[in-house]
Structure 1
Amino acid sequence: MHSALFLIEFGAIILGLGLLGRFAGRFRFSPIPLYLLAGLAFGEGGLLPLGASEEFVAIGAEIGVILLLLMLGLEYTASDLVSNLKTQYPAGLVDFGLNALPGALAALLLGWGPVAAVVLAGVTWVSSSGVIAKVLGDLGRVGNRETPVILSVLVLEDLAMAVYLPIITALLAGVSLAAASYTLAIALGVAGLVLFVALRYGRVISRFVSSDDPEKLLLVVLGLTLLVAGIAQQLQVSAAVGAFLVGIALSGEVAEGTHTLLSPLRDLFAAVFFVFFGLHTDPASIPPVLLPALVLAVATALTKIATGYWAAKRAGVGVKGRWRAGGTLVARGEFSIVIAGLAVTAGVEPSLGPLATAYVLILVIVGPLTARYTQPIAGFFIKRRQGGGGDAGGSPSASAAARTKAEAPGRAETADAHVQP
């Protein structure tokens, strides 16, 4: 009976996700917000709470994040990663300053104390690698020039979590400085080791994994990815970072074959991840904290857009790509919930959990929309402002002359030199 109920529940979820994905595809927008709303409907306090299949959905959600980051890693080589990290580390510092401080200030203004401030700073700081990976694939932007900048920011955040999570765990548990330092050293050592292996022995790993039989290739790559991700997580490093570095280590025909084989599995389990996120959100807990969560969401959405714009501009990306980079980074997700969950378990502040959930839910729904529409909206207002400036300046011919000057600065400067006294 339990088995039959599980099949019915899980089958209904998958069928519903397929229909929602088809609906979103018809109107050309990301299905992620619909998946989240479906999770709310099936979760605690929703219209039809699940029972038998919830544990399987939780495991599927973890696999979904791992596959999303593995597939992103397959798009880039280890040398690309190191080069981007070397050039983009200032963007990581800007990202921390612009996005962690609003969370810390909000906690202090609410009177929650310094430990809660450190926790909420982490919640507002880190973007969702899982959501953003899905959005980049949905919008066909994996090969865009701004995408390496986005990935550099995400990887810097994920690697920073290898430092942040042990620190916050120690603060919440009240352990000694020595114990906290030991945990932190292990986390940093594991992250560095995995990165070193990916860089130095990537070709050896690719040869080991390579196979002409798709079945064997699928099993070896999937098994290796889950194994590395699990070991990384056990040693206080993000499972997502482990999966991403496995993807980085694979190259050539192996990477191409793996991408083809795992794409359907990635899409399936990624959808399950977003449903699972909604399942663990009680709709009744959201209204009391909705206003502060909304204010914080608006503020940090703007700071993320500013972060992405600045990072892309620094990398020499065009104006449109800068706005796309900023809009894509808005979504928060899995790390924010993990951080808030640690604080709730430790009993730091009862309202912190619902506030973080409402905040993440807002931005995980808004994030795919800002990724899609930030650049067109910014372009509209820029054009309108430029048009208004031309009208204010007088005749249409003056506006046309200004455009000609902008398009041909060399000729314009020469002309200006002739008319100046």
Structure 2
Amino acid sequence: MHSAVFLIEFGAIILGLGLLGRVAGRLKFSPIPLYLLAGLAFGEGGLLPLPASEEFVAIGAEIGVILLLLMLGLEYTASDLVSNLKTQYPAGLVDFTLNALPGAVAALLMGWGPVAAVVLAGVTWISSSGVIAKVMGDLGRLGNRETPVILSILVLEDLAMAVYLPIITALLAGVSLAAGSATLAIALGVAGAVLFVAVRYGRLISRFVSSDDPEKLLLVVLGLTLLVAGIAQQLQVSAAVGAFLVGIALSGEVAEGTHTLLSPLRDLFAAVFFVFFGLHTDPASIPPVLLPALALAFVTALTKVATGYWAAKRAGVGVKGRWRAGGTLVARGEFSIVIAGLAVTAGIEPEMGPLATAYVLILVVIGPLTARYTEPVAAWISKRRSSDGPRPDTAPPPAKSPGAVPDQDPAGRA
């Protein structure tokens, strides 16, 4: 009987996702907000809870995040990763400063104390790699000039989590400095080892994984990714970082074949992830913290746009690409919930969970909108300002010198 109920519930979820995806496709809109709203409707405190399929959906959601990051890693080689990290680390510092400080300040203003301030700083700092990867794919922007800048910031954030999460765990547990340092050293060592193997032995790994049989290639790549992700998570490193580095290690024909084979699986489990996020949010817990969450979301949406704009400008991307980069980075998601969940489990602050949930829900819904519309809105505002400027009869245009050339977009592809 339980098996039958599970099949009915999970089948209804998948069918509903397919119909919502069709609606979003006709509207030329990312389906992520619709998936989240569906999760809210059928989760804790929703219209019709679905308890029988909860455990399977949770596992599917974790696989979804892993596949999203694997596919993101397949887009770039190990040399691309290293060069981007070397050139974009200042953007990582700007990202941390602009987006972690608002969370820390908000926690202190609410009287939550320094530990909660460090936790909320992480919640507001880290963008959602899963959501952003899905949005960029939906909008067909993986080949844009601003995309490497966005990926560099996301990678820096994900790698920073390998340091941040052990620190947070130690702070929340109140362990000694020696124990916390040991945990941090293990996390850094594992992340560094995986990155070293991906950069140094990527070709050997690709050769080992390569197969002319699609079935064997799919099984080996999927098994390797889940294995590395699981080991990374067991050793206090993010599973998402492990999956991303596996994608980086694979190159050439192997990467192309893997991308083709895993794309349908990624789309399926990514949709399950976004539904799972909504399923575990009680709508009744949101109204009491809605105003502070809205204020924090507004401020940190602006700071993320500023971060992306500055980083893209520094990389020589054109004005349109700068706005697209900023708007794409707005979404928060899986890491923010994980960080807040650690604090809630430790009993640091009871309002931390609802606030973080409301905050992430706001930005995970707004994120696809800012990714799509920040650039055209900025262009419209700029056009309005130029049209409201001085008229030709009151301020004639300056004369051009004989060697002057028209303004050009330094990005090539704006």
Instruction: From the CA coordinates, give the structure whose radius of gyration is larger.
Output: 1
How far the C-alpha of 1:377 sits from its partner, in A, is 0.2
Aligned to 2:165: 165
Q: Deviations over 1:210-259 (max 9, x none)?
A: 00000000000000000001101111111111111101110111000000
Within 5 Å, give how 1:306-325 maps onto structure 2: 306-325=306-325
Which amino acid is 1:189 matched to?
G
Q: Deviations over 1:126-178 (max 9, x none)?
A: 00000000001000001111001000000100111111111111111000000
Distance 1:171 1:73 in 2: 31
**1:412–1:141 Cα change, 3 Å:** closer
Distance 1:346 1:252 in 2: 45
Aligned to 2:78: 78
Distance 2:206 2:169 in 1: 36
Which amino acid is 2:152 matched to?
S
Aligned to 2:186: 186
DSSP-derived class of the 1:303 partner: helix
DSSP-derived class of the 1:52 partner: coil
Distance 1:200 1:96 in 2: 29
Which amino acid is 2:123 matched to?
V
Of 399, 403, 414, which aligns to 1:410? 403
Distance 2:314 2:337 in 1: 31
Aligned to 2:333: 333
Aligned residues: 406
Which amino acid is 2:299 matched to?
A
DSSP-derived class of the 1:410 partner: coil
Distance 1:183 1:21 in 2: 42
Aligned to 1:267: 267
Distance 1:34 1:61 in 2: 16
Aligned to 1:417: none
Aligned to 1:372: 372
Q: Deviations over 1:301-348 (max 9, x none)?
A: 000000000000000111000000000000000000000000001111
DSSP-derived class of the 1:8 partner: helix
Which amino acid is 2:172 matched to?
L
Which amino acid is 1:410 matched to?
G
Aligned to 2:410: none
Aligned to 1:100: 100
Aligned to 2:226: 226
How far the C-alpha of 1:397 sits from its partner, in A, is 9.2
How far the C-alpha of 1:386 sits from its partner, in A, is 1.7
Aligned to 1:89: 89
Distance 1:99 1:48 in 2: 36
How far the C-alpha of 1:385 sits from its partner, in A, is 1.0
DSSP-derived class of the 2:380 partner: helix
Distance 1:320 1:233 in 2: 38
DSSP-derived class of the 1:411 partner: coil
Extract unaligned runs of 5+ from structure 1. 414-421
How far the C-alpha of 1:411 sits from its partner, in A, is 3.0
How far the C-alpha of 1:410 sits from its partner, in A, is 3.5
How far the C-alpha of 1:350 sits from its partner, in A, is 0.7
**1:25–1:293 Cα change, 3 Å:** same
Which amino acid is 2:210 matched to?
S
Which amino acid is 2:347 matched to?
G
**1:196–1:412 Cα change, 3 Å:** closer
Of 387, 393, 396, which aligns to 1:395? 393
How far the C-alpha of 1:409 sits from its partner, in A, is 8.5
Which amino acid is 2:174 matched to?
G
How far the C-alpha of 1:383 sits from its partner, in A, is 1.4
TM-score, length-normalised on structure 2? Answer: 0.96
How far the C-alpha of 1:113 sits from its partner, in A, is 0.7
Aligned to 1:200: 200
Distance 2:302 2:43 in 1: 30
Which amino acid is 1:16 matched to?
G
Distance 2:15 2:56 in 1: 16
Q: Deviations over 1:350-388 (max 9, x none)?
A: 111100000000000000000000000001101111222
Distance 1:393 1:299 in 2: 36
Distance 2:192 2:93 in 1: 20
How far the C-alpha of 1:393 sits from its partner, in A, is 4.0
When the two chains are superposed, the root-mean-square deviation of aligned CA atoms in Å is: 1.4
Aligned to 1:291: 291
TM-score, length-normalised on structure 1? Answer: 0.95
Q: Deviations over 1:281-312 (max 9, x none)?
A: 00000000000000000000000000000000
DSSP-derived class of the 2:140 partner: coil
**1:409–1:360 Cα change, 3 Å:** farther
Q: Deviations over 1:384-405 (max 9, x none)?
A: 112222xx2443993xx46x85
DSSP-derived class of the 1:141 partner: coil
Aligned to 1:43: 43
Which amino acid is 1:318 matched to?
G
Distance 2:377 2:322 in 1: 13
Distance 1:40 1:233 in 2: 28
Which amino acid is 2:329 matched to?
L
DSSP-derived class of the 2:141 partner: coil
DSSP-derived class of the 1:122 partner: helix
How far the C-alpha of 1:24 sits from its partner, in A, is 0.3
**1:346–1:380 Cα change, 3 Å:** same
Distance 1:318 1:409 in 2: 26
Aligned to 1:128: 128
Distance 1:70 1:409 in 2: 53
Which amino acid is 2:122 matched to?
G
DSSP-derived class of the 2:403 partner: helix
Distance 1:396 1:253 in 2: 62
